[in-house]
Amino acid sequence: MRVFEYVLTGVFFALGVRSLVHWLRRPFESRRPRDVTLYALWIFSRAGLWFAVSGVFVISASITETGRAFRDEWSRYSWYILVPLVLAAVQAITAYLLGLGGEDEAA
């Protein structure tokens, strides 16, 4: 079972690296500090979400118990659910704010 978890860890980690590289290479038109900051937050929350999912499998692979003991050990890491939730929320909020655009600087 651990091999499967380590494979999934590697897959999600690789997807995080790919996402980070892909989005950092894309040109971003706006030079407004607000937009650049939001875009950077969006990129890192997007890639971070892949890394957070990878972390779930790292935690799962690190637990040696089975059955009820496995569930009890997992309960120690119940706080970790907040990591992907916060990253997903940051990604959604920054995407929404970037989509709103802004007033032209010339206006």
- Please indicate, yes or no, if residue 60 is contained in any of the structural domains: yes
Mean pLDDT score across all residues of the chain: 89
103 by DSSP, 3-state: which? Answer: coil
What is the span of the domain harbouring residue 44?
Answer: 2-25+34-100
8 by DSSP, 3-state: which? Answer: helix
Question: Using N-to-C axis directions, what is the helix angle for 2-25 and 33-62, rounded to 10°?
Answer: 170
State pLDDT tens for residues 22-60.
999 998 888 889 999 999 999 999 999 999 999 999 998
- Please indicate, yes or no, if residue 106 is contained in any of the structural domains: no
What domain count does the chain have? Answer: 1
Q: Residue 106: which pLDDT band, with cuts at 50, 70 and 90?
A: very low
Q: What is the pLDDT of residue 18?
A: 96
Q: What is the pLDDT of residue 105?
A: 53
Residue in 12, 93, 10 with CA at minimum distance from that of residue 50: 12
Q: Residue 1: which pLDDT band, with cuts at 50, 70 and 90?
A: low
